[in-house]
A and B are shown apart, each in its own frame.
Chain A
Amino acid sequence: MTSSNSLAWIIVIPFFAAALLPMIHRLNRRLVHPVALLGSGAALLFSLYAASIVVLTEAPVNHTLGGWPPPWGIELRLDHLSAVMVVLIAALSFLVLLFGHGGMERRLESRSHFFYAMYMMFSVGLFGMVLTHDLFNLYVFLEVSSLAGYSLIAVGERGSPFAAFRYLILGTLGAMLFLLGLGYLYALTGSLNYVDVAERLSSVNESRAALVALALMLTGFGIKAALFPLHAWLPDSYAYSPNVTVAFMAAVGTKVGAYGIFRVLFTIYEIGEVRVHLPVIEIMGWLSAIAILAGSILAMAQSDLKRMLAYSSVSQIGYVLLGFSLLNASGVIGGVLHIVNHAFMKCCLFLVVGAMMAKVGHRDIRRLSGMGRKMPGVMAAFSIAAISMVGLPPTAGFFSKWYLILGALEASNFVFVGVILVSSLLNAAYFFRVLERVYLSRDAEPRVEVEADVEAAASTEAAVAAVGGGSMPISRTQTPSEPRAEQPPHAGAVPDSASSPKKRSTTVPRPSEELPEQPWLPTGRLPASVVAPIGITAVSLLILGLGSAWLVENVLRFIVPGGL
């Protein structure tokens, strides 16, 4: 049965790729990235293959690891929801990895084998979480992806180890709460397999232990999904982490938390019956509504583009969980569709930020004037993704919001309808603020801004970007320990120290290791490996928008749990 084996391959291939990468680095460092791409691409092929079987046969694919039948052994199972998630993770993992080649910060390049190894482990954890049908296995893969995620964040800018540590503390708390809830379920039912637990639980699901377990598991995954007010780890982690990390993590990292919530609510518990004993649905719905508004409002207040997108992630995860909490078919379809759409949107947006930082070395919204002329193609992709975030019709974002509003109307919860509409306006406000800077703002006189910003240079990045002015890079002499040989040929044209002494005097002097990332592809065209993923994600937003009817008809329809 090759179709069932392919489920195991999806996990095993990236796992071995991760183990191999440091060894391959010893043999030949040029092979590291191709091998990582190969592993990720193979996982993508296997997941497409397995998912296509699920879609064509309209039945889940099972694989029992080690030949132990399900209640005892660990079962991998690809149903329609897992199929959506697995293809999503595999596709974005591959695209972001492709981007990693040119978009990766120079500072990371000498250690890119460890970075890519951790990246592969992160995707192993995510694949495992969405494929497994065993609660404890879910916990293990949750920790695998989390551990890799912490280390991926920690190699970013100056504050990143601290941000990673805070995420580690909160993330471990979430995982431990989940594990505790799992312990309650195991004590109650004596089983760990989703289906088996669900069967045995249906007779005791009013017991206090089952309700406590439900609350614990939802809180645990709520932390992972960054559901407001459990989102405290997210903005710092996203803002400080490397662009490659954040593009992947923002796209699928929190979504897997939402997937976990879906499993707990609908696969393990029959939430329609349990909700009368514990108002988890009401709490989750209202928290999501608050998350949507609060995330959008906080995003408006940011001047750091990455931080703005991070807060916008907090708000977008609210849409997903709001959809689940509506407890009707349209709501669930809207929620899952929004997982897919938002993953592509956020991935595209963060990749654009990565390309922009490669080009100009900063991400300050106030200094984006004229970017539309400097990087027309990339900024066009940004615009598509931004329009999709706002939810205008031809793009993907419109359709998930459409289903969410339909669901809210069906549930006759008009407050939620209002929340979704208002937040679309807020999204428009903070994205058009950026787009206005990028395309319309003409006050791109670098001199003036340099003066103004050095005054306000509370943050180190402002100071450095000011020196850069527009696209003028800082002298390479300020970055120590960078062998010239590592730079690609087109970076050799960097204007060197000739103009730097005068300019350097305007910066706040700081030890060079504290300087934030400088533009590492300042001149010439962006390499195809940087542009292609951005273009693909942007185009797929349009395809997803046009194909959403097909997706709902052939895939998402089957996700809706029975009884809704």
Chain B
Amino acid sequence: MIQDILGWYNYWLISILILVGIYGMMAKRNLLKKLMGMNILQVAIILFFLTLSPKKGATMPVYDATVGTAAADYANPLPQALMLTAIVVGVATTGLALALLVRVHRTFGTLEEDKIMEELR
């Protein structure tokens, strides 16, 4: 049991972060908190990809003559490259979301979803 938790601690952490993020996005009524939930979810998934990357006893993925050319001796660089893109996408999404929130707040004077819904009816 304890072995399961400690041995896979990174996956546990990621699972918890994903659940926290989805909970924030779905259950919170404040739009800014929804956005925070979204960011937590994004970070969780970035961590998930990064956790695929390292290997035991491997070095960083830059060619080194002393290490040789066996793929097992280098960490997998692809997840990191992918996540670099995902981080960029995440930043763009957050920026756009914040800009939208500014507009929402200017129009409705609040970021509480319930109040906005009431006013839109």
Chain A residues within 8 Å of B, Cβ to Cβ: 136, 139-140, 143, 147, 150-151, 154, 158-159, 161-162, 164-165, 168-169, 172-173, 176, 179-180, 183, 186-187, 458, 514
Contacts and interface: CB of A to CB of B under 8 A. Distances in A.
B30 to A, nearest CB: 12
Contact of A158 (B45, B100, B107): B107
Given A140-B85, A147-B96, A172-B93, A165 B101 contact: yes
Contact of A164 (B82, B100, B116): B100
Given A154-B100, A165-B104, A186-B79, 12 more contacts: A136-B85, A147-B92, A150-B96, A162-B104, A168-B97, A169-B34, A172-B42, A173-B22, A176-B41, A183-B45, A183-B48, A186-B49
B25 interface: yes
Interface string B1-40: 0000000000000000010001001000001001100100
Taking chain B's interface residues, is the majority helix, strand, or loop, or is none over half, making it mixed?
helix
Contact of A143 (B49, B89, B108): B89
Contacts of A165: 31, 97, 100-101, 104
B103 A172 contact: no
Query: 4 closest pairs, A vs B, by CB?
Result: A161-B103, A165-B100, A143-B89, A161-B104
A136 to B, nearest CB: 5
Q: Contact residue range for chain B? A: 20 to 34
Given A169-B35, A173-B22, A161 B45 contact: no
Contacts of A458: 121
B93 A143 contact: yes
A169 B103 CA distance: 16
Contacts of B89: 140, 143, 147
Contacts of B107: 158, 161-162, 514
B52 interface: yes
A143 B93 CA distance: 9
A183 B49 contact: yes
Nearest to B108: A162
A187 B100 contact: no
A250 to B, nearest CB: 20
Of listed A143, A151, A458, A514, residue having the most chain B CB within 10 A: A143
Interface string B56-96: 00000000000000000000001100100110010011001
Contacts of A169: 25, 34-35, 38, 97
B119 to A, nearest CB: 9
Contacts of A140: 85, 89
20 contacts: A140-B89, A143-B92, A143-B93, A147-B93, A158-B107, A158-B120, A161-B101, A161-B104, A162-B104, A165-B31, A168-B96, A169-B34, A169-B38, A169-B97, A173-B41, A176-B41, A176-B45, A179-B45, A183-B45, A514-B107
B25 A179 contact: no
Contact of B52 (A136, A159, A183): A183
B100 A150 contact: yes
A165 B93 CA distance: 10
Contacts of B108: 162
A180 B45 CA distance: 6
A176 B87 CA distance: 12
Contacts of B78: 186
Contacts of B121: 458
A162 B102 CA distance: 10
B93 A168 contact: yes
A173 B100 contact: no
Given A168-B96, A172-B93, A159 B120 contact: yes
Contacts of A180: 18, 45, 48
A168 B35 CA distance: 9
B47 to A, nearest CB: 10
A224 to B, nearest CB: 14
Contacts of A151: 96
A168 B36 CA distance: 13
A273 to B, nearest CB: 26
A187 B50 CA distance: 11
A173 B44 CA distance: 12
Contact of B116 (A162, A172, A176): A162
B55 to A, nearest CB: 13
A176 B31 CA distance: 19
Of listed A150, A161, A187, A514, residue having the most chain B CB within 10 A: A161
Contacts of A179: 45, 86
A168 B100 contact: yes
Contacts of B85: 136, 140
Nearest to B103: A161
A147 B93 CA distance: 7
B77 to A, nearest CB: 12
A183 B11 CA distance: 13
A180 B82 CA distance: 12
A179 B90 CA distance: 12
B25 to A, nearest CB: 5
A168 B48 CA distance: 22
A161 B25 contact: no
Contacts of B104: 161-162, 165
A357 B52 CA distance: 53
Of listed B35, B100, B120, residue having the most chain A CB within 10 A: B100
